[in-house]
Chain A
Amino acid sequence: MTLHILNKSPSADALIKRMLCAIEDGDAIIMIEDGVLGALDAHQGLFSSIPDNVALFALEADLEARGITSRISEQVSIADDKQFVVLCSDMDKTVSWY
């Protein structure tokens, strides 16, 4: 099980497409930095192809910094810095997409 760390906004569509191709059952995705823009309700369709058991997270500090915490999709859970570390240690490995 892999944690995918995404730091680019949805405008990096080629990058996100490549990431989605690499997603497997039981993986998780955490959006950080500009990546958290992908958590917006308006971008709900972005992750429509991923399996149900792939959890989606967005980093709290980056959501707050962009003022979008209240506008994110129901699909996405908010992770603080501590949960980010826990995710990295709980999953077998991490891949950074940037």
Chain B
Amino acid sequence: MKFSLVIQASPFSHQSTATAFRFAQTLLDEGHELFRVFFYAEATLIANNQICSPQGEADLPQQWQTLAEEHQLDLVVCIAAAVKRGVIDDNEAKRYEKASGNLRETFELSGLGQLAEAIAVSDRVITFGA
């Protein structure tokens, strides 16, 4: 079955990015397909490559990156929500005349069209809210 996940909550104050990560891992283990993960609103903060997770704490951004690399996942970060939170790729850095982008590898900035497409083509879209 084809799944997509929508994550809306901040990785710092809510459990959603961690719950969704376990869900993603489990559905892939079960042989399902993960079409897309869409990070929206505060959840876009996870794609900031400047995050340094404290030693001894789960490094969620890295966990998502590793899972994405293993399974060629499409991790889409809502561009409007990300840019206003200071999560930008090199293109946006140029556009806004910032020194550099800070988007973590394997994450991609894109628009709500990607969410609409995921909803259209997936059998199940599971929302992990704030």
**B-binding residues in A (CB < 8 A):** 5, 7, 32-34, 61-62, 81-82, 84-86, 88-89, 93-94, 96-98
Q: Give complex CA distance A5, B16 in Å.
A: 12
Q: Do the beta carbons of A94 and B26 come within 8 Å of each other? A: no
B126 touches A88 (CB 8 A): yes
- Tell me whether B93 is interfacial, beta carbon within 8 Å: no
B100 at the interface (CB under 8 A from A): no
- The residues of B with any CB-CB pair to A shorter than 8 Å are 1, 3, 8-9, 14-16, 19, 22-23, 25-27, 29-30, 32, 123-130
Residue of A nearest to B1 (CB): A89
| Chain B residues with CB below 8 A from A32, complex form | 19
| Given A33-B15, A61-B22, A81-B22, A89:B126 Cβ within 8 A | no
Minimum Cβ distance to chain A for residue B83 (Å): 24
Which residues of B lie under 8 Å from residue A93 when comparing CB positions? 124
Residue of B with least CB distance to A82 = B26
User: Measured between alpha carbons, how far is A98 from B8 in the docked complex, in Å?
Assistant: 10
Chain A at the B interface: SS class: helix
A contact residues around B29 at 8 Å (CB): 82
A-B residue pairs in contact (CB < 8 Å), sample of 9: A5-B127, A7-B15, A7-B128, A81-B22, A81-B23, A89-B32, A89-B124, A96-B126, A96-B129
Write the nearest CB–CB distance from A45 to chain B, whole angstroms.
25
Inter-subunit contact B126/A5 (CB<8 Å): yes
- Give the CA-CA distance A30 to B4 in the complex, in Å: 19
B residues less than 8 Å from A34 (CB atoms): 15
A85 touches B129 (CB 8 A): no
Contacts of B123 in A (CB 8 A): 89
Q: Is the CB of B23 within 8 A of A85?
A: yes
Picked from B8, B9, B19, B27, the residue with its CB within 8 Å of the CB of A85 is B27
